[in-house]
């Protein structure tokens, strides 16, 4: 057994663990500071997931094709959307839909920008929210079928939530 290992063994189990972890050279105060930083990390980011709730205001407008006549225009007032963002795999989902969508990170923003081509319609889903909430969010979605064109535009403010809040609103 090496002399340094024997020396650490004589100091007790904690010293032995520090030696084997490769941190025997760090003073105890440094270890306490590192531990405090790890334990004080944001509760909204856990296991590389970010949980966000956004209060949105905007409009949902439907027009007839080809006439362009207004079918309906509904205000979106205080619509709350909650999101689970997988930062490792660049995916997210909201509390209403269990389907994961692709995202990308641009600076301090999470961007969803996808084409949506379903049976009988085409569309574009575009949303931007902060990577480090709180911060602003925007949505500009459109869907088009043979007879209708829908546009959803909204702006709002996002804040961090924890995973428990997301799971609760997902059950409703």
Provide the CATH number for the domain around residue 124: 2.40.160
Q: Same domain for 134 and 80?
A: yes
pTM: 0.69
pLDDT tens per residue across span 100-139: 999 999 999 999 999 989 889 999 999 999 999 999 999 9
For CA atoms 54, 56, 62, 63, the dihedral sign is: negative
- By residue range, what is the domain housing residue 25? 3-39
Q: Are 93 and 101 in contact (CB under 8 A)?
A: yes
The tally of domains found in the chain comes to 2
Q: Same domain for 55 and 27?
A: no
Q: Same domain for 70 and 127?
A: yes
Confidence (pLDDT) at 47: 66
Q: Same domain for 89 and 28?
A: no
Mean pLDDT score, 35-41: 39
* Rounded Cα gap, residues 75 and 106, in angstroms: 29
Q: Same domain for 33 and 50?
A: no
For CA atoms 14, 20, 25, 30, the dihedral sign is: negative
Q: Same domain for 11 and 53?
A: no
């Amino acid at each position: 057994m090496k002399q340094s290992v024997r020396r650490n063994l004589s100091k007790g189990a904690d010293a032995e663990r520090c030696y084997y972890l490769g941190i025997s050279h760090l003073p105890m105060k440094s270890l306490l500071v590192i531990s405090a930083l790890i334990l004080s990390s944001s509760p909204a980011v856990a296991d590389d997931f970010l949980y966000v709730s956004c209060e949105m205001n905007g409009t949902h407008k439907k027009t007839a094709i080809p006439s362009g006549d207004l079918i309906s225009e509904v205000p979106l007032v205080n619509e709350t959307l909650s999101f689970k963002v997988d930062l490792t795999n660049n995916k997210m989902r909201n509390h209403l839909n269990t389907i994961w969508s692709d995202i990308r990170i641009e600076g301090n923003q999470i961007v969803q920008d996808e084409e949506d081509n379903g049976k009988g319609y085409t569309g574009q889903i575009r949303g931007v929210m902060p990577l480090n909430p709180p911060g602003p969010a925007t949505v500009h979605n459109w869907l088009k079928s043979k007879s209708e064109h829908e546009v959803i535009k909204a702006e709002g403010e996002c804040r961090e939530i924890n995973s428990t809040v997301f799971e609760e609103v997902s059950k409703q």
